[in-house]
Amino acid sequence: MSGLILAYSLLVNDNNDNPAPAAPSPPSGQPDQPLPDNPAPTLPDNPAPTLPEIPGTGVLRQGDSGHGVYELQVRLLQVPNIYDGGAIDGRYGMEVGAAVARFQKWYGIQGDETGVYGDHTRLALMLRTK
């Protein structure tokens, strides 16, 4: 017990030699000053610009062209007797439309217009090709 009293007296004497510490700082995570009265800025009413479509996604139909149609043609060629000998030129012409319609009919694809490469047809074709 005497050791405890000695330690206490040493602490008290050391504190008498040093100036008093500053006021305790607020606990971490709390601001030193009050928050401002003005709220954070709000987002504009204008919707964000749409992101560009990823090639090969979205609905494709006769008259379309580009990378998505190219990918469709490559996949159609992988299914026997659907687009045999068809061009791979990135243009959705009558031959591609007929191949898509044939694929939809033969595999019972519903939910997309006949000859239109929509979400249902895309999923079915992707599951059957690489």
61-77 residue pLDDT tens = 999 999 999 999 999 99
Give yes or no for residue 129 having a pLDDT over 80. Answer: yes
What's the rounded Cα separation, in Å, for the pair 3 and 19?
26
Quote the pLDDT of residue 51: 43
Q: Mind spelling out the 3-state secondary structure of the chain?
A: CHHHHHHHHHHHHHHHHCCCCCCCCCCCCCCCCCCCCCCCCCCCCCCCCCCCCCCCCCCECCCCECHHHHHHHHHHHHCCCCCCCCCCCCECCHHHHHHHHHHHHHCCCCCCCCCCECHHHHHHHHHHCC
pTM: 0.58
* Better-scored residue on pLDDT, 32 or 126: 126
* Average model confidence (pLDDT) across the chain: 78
